[in-house]
Structure 1
Amino acid sequence: MSVSPGPGDRYVVGVDYGTLSGRALVVRVGDGAELGTAVHDYRHGVMDSALAVDGRALPADWALQDPQDYRDVLRHAVPAALAASGVDPRRVVGVGIDFTACTVLPTLADGTPLCELPELRTRPHAWVKLWKHHAAQPQADRINALAHARDEPWIGRYGGKVSAEWQFAKGLQLLEEDPEVYHRAERWIEAADWIVWQLCGVETRNVCGAGYKGLYQDGRYPSRDYLAALHPGFADFVAKIDGPLAPLGARAGGLTARAAAWTGLPEGVTVAVGNVDAHVTAAAAQALDPGRLVVIMGTSTCHLVNATEPAEVAGMCGVVDGGISAGSWGFEAGQSAVGDIFGWYVAHAAPAGYASHEALTVAAAVQPVGAHGLVALDWWNGNRSPLVNHDLSGLIVGLTLATRPPDVYRALLESTAYGTRMIIEAYAEAGVPVDELIVAGGLTANALLMQIYADVTKRPLGIIGSAQGPALGSAIHAAVAAGAYPDVSAASAAMGRVDRDGYRPDPERARAYDALYAEYRRLHDHFGRGGDDVLLRLRAIRNAARRAADHDPAG
């Protein structure tokens, strides 16, 4: 049934920046009805093999983007969504933004990206580093080692390990590999905060990005002494990221004339402070209460849950006061690849006749649990939680001449569910309860995958009631920033939606999965916790071979 705009209704726009595209969604403030949406694909996508401007080869584990692609989302997706909705732009009271994280870029003091300076266009370090830029793992290793050696108080809030994906590791890599660009960078800013800056002309920093990706805890960043001990030139790094921090749902400013022209919205419309795509989805899924783990499943997966008290959870991505919603401690964990693993198999390994998710799912769904005899490790893009090591790689154990494509596909689906169970158990061991799962993202359409998650985790699994969870969450925050609701919880109750009776665990299948999960856990600990570092050695051999080939293309 279509939803029509009402003459007296108010509306908000949520803009969700993903890995390959940006989406705009027009939402009615009163009830969260979604009236129009549009997607704009990034022209340059992800630059992970070559720099678009000159074709220069990029090293292993790099992932860059062009900030102009982000502006183009505002110029194309927002007007298209408004047109599709039939909403009068004058009835729009707010705009909210969410972004992948940590996606970070160096800029001048006025927000100009360094990659847009003619003299720096061909310098890879001047461009946006996407969340899955994992080339800063050596810097992350040193950050962690020094933090533990100095007994830094903040390291426990991140499960004992800072990720290569985050601001400090990427910033240290910038300093060590291109010091000129580092010193030219007057600001080092999350893309969520940068695009808000573009919209309203005011630089703000959101508490979510600062807490989870910028090591901001208890009112401060890591000390100057600590940073100088990492590298003398890194002592001033906090000056590049420090700035006014705003709570989620706060007003960052009003739409500038330039941004109004991009979007087709009136000048002065409220712009909410930025947010992270996963974290903003919790409001859309009505998953703000403690014990409700929201699992945002896409190319990767993020696991978020609120609790009433802080706790140190081994290998987690962080615990932040107000990081998901005000008044609670927000916990984050994640898996670096989920949908990407399934996509890799279909694109590169499945033979003719099985080269689609649909065909593989149908064939895999008829198998009894364990019939394929396989266990896989879900580390195709490293491990985010709980090992926090992006140099790890995937593994499939049990292959025989009788193994068939649906067997492998199902084992890969199951491996990601085992990874989620590892995270849930780490939460539980630290005293953070997880009573139910609420899943958001495009993978919710795969009923086999959803039932596997319910069976493996032995918990009820609900499904978000929107196909545009992050964009709806951003719209909810925009409504709060515009004054339509007193807080995010109230807006979530009115505008969010979820089906809590989606999937229930089957006791027989759950028992069968317990045995397979035990094997997964043995492999996880053996290859991930020092039993055998063969995966790390193979990664080092690969990287050395690629470097040699880059220096001698003829070889």
Structure 2
Amino acid sequence: MNANSERYVVGVDFGTLSGRAVVVRVSDGAELGTAVHEYAHRVIEDRLPGTGARLGPDWALQSPDDWREVLRHAVPQAVAQAGISPSQVVGIGTDFTACTVLPATADGAPLCELPEFAGRPHAWPKLWKHHAAQPHADRINALAAERGEAWLPRYGGKISSEWQFAKALQVLEEDPEVYGRTERWIEAADWIVWQLTGVETRNTCTAGYKGIHQDGAYPSDDFLAGLNPALAGFTGKLGRELAPLGGLAGRLTAEAAEWTKLPEGIAVAVGNVDAHVTAAAADAVRPGRMVAIMGTSTCHVMSSETLAEVPGMCGVVRDGIVPGLWGYEAGQSGVGDIFGWFVETCVPGSYEREAERLGRSVHEHLTELAAAQRPGEHGLVALDWHNGNRSVLVDHDLSAVIVGQTLATRPEHTYRALIEATAFGARVIVETFEAAGVPVEEFVAAGGLLKNRFLMQVYADVLRRPISVIGSEQGPALGSAIHAAVAAGAYPDITAAAAAMGKRTEAAYTPDAGRAAVYDRLYAEYRRLHDHFGRGEHPHDSPAGAPAGNDVLRRLRALRNEVTA
């Protein structure tokens, strides 16, 4: 085929710290150009830009203009690197972290960009890892359980503080003026598509997983009024019509064409979530394939033909990953972030100097030292709850635990224990799914942590199963590009497009029987600690016959919040 007759699509992945664009050939999924744009404001956790207004504990915000800058810079740069004519691009697709949600006016203007609200923290977009709404999530869960709300089991019995309703209730009760001015409460995944097309759409993925939309409806006004009378009517801010994944959201406007340097009028795909869209990039949208997108956090997604109630899952949504199947989601709210925290705060200067002498990063140096140990040699077990627990406990008031430290404990021992802890957390999720009747036939890994081969082998040994790996370093962006190809009409559906454009290597890592046997013993200790500290003094949260636990982690978090308020 003549190169000039080839068609291309652009995928844009909006992450936690940056946005990435990739140019992909429609015929075979080849990635020809990529560019990254770092957010100027990164994660806003301490003070608001400009005004300096202080934020409270567990806050995490972002700036909408950082997202626009990705369109202005990363997209044109990726197209230029690909060496193609912009006229050959037929579509663009986007994905976002979720639940990253913002209050806006009826025409889509973010409230934080209005002068009168620039200094009000609740007017800014709340990033997925904004966990300050945990008390509000607790109230939602308690009332839903008391009333027997039919949607609650679809979320494993608990909704998260990260999601739309908990964050909205926090805004209402802490800044009712901002809540009253909010005409649209919208996921960033849908807001960015609005900026590209001039048309407001809401996608089935974020509505189902983060907006409690089940069986064609949101929670009732009667339920919402039971939380706060002023919350009744909130769903009117969410939009009503949901757009299918892979669908055409609209066409690129003249203004967005100027930002991206792409042709006006090309197809813009319906918005999506970074984790869910990655399943297409790995050609893992068929039932039984669990995709773990491993980065700062890990999200586990898989499709199934059957509906089941999986304790502690983030949600099960019809058409949530691909139309026609039930899409399941679970996750770990801290993985790469945990390793980053350890390197930044717990590693002595002598290790940094030695890593520099060897021409390695500190992470690489610690990984090399950790890999030299035998499983169990460090005598440690850790709980990977530095950023709370998403699945299966769904409690962001939990915190980390490391057991077994002595004066002989070295940084590489703790580093290895933290890697193992995240693998144990993944095993809890897999076992919980299978116990609920949702078999995991293949475990597929994606995300930035694939670069650490030692870590991936630990996961294979802990999980006692082969691990397949995605064939791209740009999983979410490639997945968004695949959705753009469907929206542009190049393929009939996501499954067909994923088969042609997605890629993965099956059984790239296989478990070692000897190491796995030791990890079984360590995992048993992890599960004891998991239930003791995680289920605490709440018998209804614990498995039948389990001994009472301890709520010390929650009490410590409450004391910290009280002192720092």
TM-score scaled by length of structure 2:
0.95
1:192: which partner in 2?
189
- After superposition, the C-alpha distances for 1:96-155 in whole angstroms (9 at most, x for unaligned) are 000000000000000000011110100000000000000000000000000000000000
SS of the aligned residue for 1:410 comes to helix
1:152-231 mapped onto 2 (5 Å cutoff):
152-231=149-228
List aligned pairs for 1:93-132, cutoff 5 A.
93-132=90-129
Alpha-carbon offset, residue 62 of structure 1: 0.3
Decide whether the 8 Å contact of 1:284 with 1:470 is kept in 2. Answer: yes
Q: What's the offset of the Cα at 1:5? A: 9.1
Q: Please point out which of 138, 156, 164 is paired with 2:135.
A: 138
Is structure 2 residue 32 aligned with structure 1 residue 32? no
- Determine the structure 2 residue equivalent to 1:536: 554
2:448 maps to a residue whose letter is: G
| 1:354 Cα deviation from its structure 2 partner | 2.9
Aligned twin of 2:357: none
Q: Say if 2:345 is the partner of 1:348.
A: yes
Q: Say whether the 8 Å CA contact 2:53–2:120 is kept in structure 1.
A: no
Distance 1:46 1:95 in 2: 26
Q: CA deviation at 1:229?
A: 0.7
User: Which one of the candidate residues 10, 26, 44 is aligned to 1:13?
Assistant: 10
SS of the residue corresponding to residue 354 of structure 1 reads helix
What is aligned with 2:391?
385
Cα 1:201–1:406 shift into 2, 3 Å: same
Match of residue 517 from structure 1 = 523
Letter in 2 for 1:406: E
Alignment partners' CA distance in 1, 2:438 and 2:498: 23
Does 2:239 match 1:242? yes
Match of 2:476 in 1: 470
Consecutive unaligned residues of structure 1, counting only runs of 5 or more, are 548-555
SS in 2 for 1:64: coil
Q: Is the 8 A contact 2:47 2:55 kept in 1?
A: yes
- The one-letter code of the counterpart of 1:19 is T
Query: 2:440 matched to 1:434?
Result: yes
- Rounded to whole Å, the distance in 2 between the matches of 1:373 and 1:30 is 52
Q: Is the 8 A contact 2:112 2:123 kept in 1?
A: yes
Give the partner amino acid of 2:550: D
Q: What is the deviation of 1:55? A: 1.4
Alignment partner, residue 319 of structure 1: 316
Deviation at 1:76, TM superposition (A): 0.6
| CA contact 1:5–1:85 (8 Å) conserved in 2 | no
Aligned AA (2:369): A
| Aligned residue identity for 1:61 | D
Q: Deviations over 1:247-287 (max 9, x none)?
A: 10000000000000000011101000000000000000111
> 1:388, CA displacement in angstroms?
0.5
Q: What corresponds to 1:551 in structure 2?
A: none
SS in 2 for 1:15: strand
Deviates more, 1:241-250 or 1:466-475: 241-250
Question: Aligned letter for 2:554?
Answer: L
Poorly superposed stretches of 4+, deviation over 3 Å: none
- The range that moved more, 46-55 or 27-36, is 46-55
3-state SS of paired residue (1:412): helix
Query: Which residue in 2 is equivalent to 1:485?
Result: 491
Q: Displacement, 1:544?
A: 1.5
Distance 2:408 2:363 in 1: 21
CA distance in 1, matches of 2:167, 2:23: 35
Which secondary structure state, in structure 2, belongs to the residue aligned with residue 7 of structure 1?
Answer: helix
* Structure 1: distance between partners of 2:40 and 2:398: 31
Per the TM alignment, residue 468 of structure 1 is displaced from its structure 2 partner at its CA by 0.2
Pair 1:414-2:411 in alignment: no
Say which SS state the counterpart of residue 138 (structure 1) adopts: helix
Give me the whole-angstrom Cα distance separating, in 2, the residues matched to 1:50 and 1:495: 43
- The aligned length equals 544
Q: In structure 1, what is the Cα distance between the partners aligned to 2:298 and 2:499? A: 24
CA-to-partner distance for each residue in 1:309-330, whole Å, 9 max, x for gaps? 1111101100001101112111
Report the secondary structure of 2:317's partner residue: strand
Instruction: Pick closer, same or farther for the CA change 1:56–1:68 going to 2, 3 Å.
Output: same
For 1:354 and 1:322, how far apart are their aligned partners in 2?
49
**Mean CA deviation greater in 285-294 or 112-121:** 285-294
1:293 corresponds to 2:290: yes
CA distance in 1, matches of 2:514, 2:305: 34
**1:546 equivalenced with 2:552 (yes/no):** no
**Displacement of 1:7 after TM fit?**
1.2
SS at match of 2:94: strand
How far apart in 2 are the matches of 1:293 and 1:414?
20
Q: What is the Cα deviation at residue 366 of structure 1?
A: 1.3
Contact 1:297 1:441 in 2 (8 A): yes
Tell me the distance in 2 between the aligned counterparts of 1:254 and 1:37.
Answer: 23
Matched, 1:504 2:524: no
Q: Once the 2 structures are TM-superposed, how far is the Cα of residue 501 of structure 1 from its aligned partner?
A: 2.7
Go from structure 1 to structure 2 and tell me whether the alpha carbon gap of 1:50 and 1:504 turns closer, same or farther (over 3 Å shift).
same
* CA contact 1:5–1:86 (8 Å) conserved in 2: no
Query: How far, CA to CA, are the matches of 1:112 and 1:56 in structure 2?
Result: 21
Find the aligned partners of 1:242 and 1:142 in 2 and give their Cα distance.
Answer: 24
1:404 matches 2:410: yes
Alpha-carbon distance in 2 for matches of 1:544, 1:501: 49
Distance 1:153 1:165 in 2: 21
Q: Secondary structure at the match of 1:128?
A: coil
- Could you tell me the TM-score, scaled by structure 1's length? 0.97
Separation in structure 2 between the aligned mates of residue 57 and residue 230 of structure 1, nearest angstrom: 27
Partner residue in 2 for 1:461: 467
One-letter code aligned to 2:377: A
Deviations 1:196-242 (A, max 9, x none): 00000000000000000000000000011000111000001100002
Identity %: 68
User: What's the secondary structure of 2:324's corresponding residue?
Assistant: coil
Specify the code of the residue in structure 2 equivalent to 1:329. Answer: W
